[in-house]
Structure 1
């Protein structure tokens, strides 16, 4: 082999060896970097936490407009409630109180008009009222405030509405969970009168009956019983002279004097419960019949339990 050929072979071997070494170190380095990047991205995905979108508090203004009259106002405030409560937060703002006064004056000057009050409630609230839902209970408290300002209950209709889109603030306060609308009555329309007559007959046929354990005075209404309360409130609101009649009864154990007193205590307790739930005290009469008029035999414990009761109906 000539010297020149050997020199050329040396150069060729150097090039081949350099290429191999370059591929070995640099490609592995790139792969490692790519793997590291991939691992970094994977770790980023795995550790990323999903932050839920913040829900904005519902701020419902106190707004009323009569399409068939000249009442219209929009106050950037309202009657507010804590969640799971039907007592509005006091004191009311001056603006809201003035708006309610304006509403009372307007309806007083227009006896052919009435106001619908719809209270909103959420499905995750706890209803401790005597009404079927917190919305109706809230509307009822506003109704009572309007009555205290001089408006007749005949001119007020109350409703409840499920509204899970009504969002409380961070302090669990619902800002204005109420809606208002003005109605103009049609002259000669007897549909409401007919409906109230049918409602009164239904209440008398199936009154609200509350049962008590011996020497106990506590009330826990079922859904059906709450509806009966709402029906009786509506009836007494709309019918002149209508009152709730609350009568207490006992079993035959013990003396008659004691039982008559116990029956009256139960009737008074039921009245206090109804008043606490926004039913006017002057619309409720109480009485006791003690062990009289049993509806079951006092010879058995089951019969005695049925006789320990309070019956709420209308006069």
Structure 2
């Protein structure tokens, strides 16, 4: 069996979880600044599978913002390429002049030698991460760096080969011997090299819709962070992102949503979660409502009943009885 380590924040006291997760991520990839709106009770799990100089790590974790700054690069640079295959959820990256959004089964590629910001959506994400030393990617550095910011699919061509190999590898490591690890690492490095070379030779560019997907994820993250503000409006959101309201509406229409319904649904979803949480049983319903942008209790009750078919007090009673 291949050597692997497993880490779960749920094995730790609540107060230690996020700090421990941040430390774990820093050791897995490179030192980073991490932040999350789920800081108080962070949930994340990760397996780290060592394949010689290559590391593969499947993980599932709550909302997270990763920042790799010039100062951190000067302090420590392992000189690796990082690939994440997004299996569930949403994510996006920002390199300053470049932005990219990623869908499921897309590869997200970074370098530990570049500064960047990566952020996930409000819901938990599942990724399959890979760390490959730059020295093992047989593409000239200035050419390989051109891949950063490209949209690399794991559903076709060489990307599909790499995706399938990684999925099969992490699904069951029991059939491999420890001596197989360096050879498997070489296979991964060779597939990454082939994917980089193919992308550079084909001179692929991000499709126009990528910027819209990136902006949509930025907007959703902004909304999530400001759900407690009763004055959160489409006009304010558009202004904060320097776009027109009509453009903002089109972004959400592309996903079959409206801005107002997205805000309402997220508020009610998190209010419902709080009402069903035994740890918050003593928090008054009006306080739960205000916490998620409803300063008027009557308005909250009407909206909640419309969404869930019963008033907040009844849902709380049912949930706590079943707990």
What's the TM-score once normalised by structure 1's chain length?
A: 0.27
Structure of larger gyration radius: 1
* Structure that is richer in helix per residue: 2
Higher relative contact order (CA 8 A, sep 6+): 1
What's the TM-score once normalised by structure 2's chain length?
A: 0.26
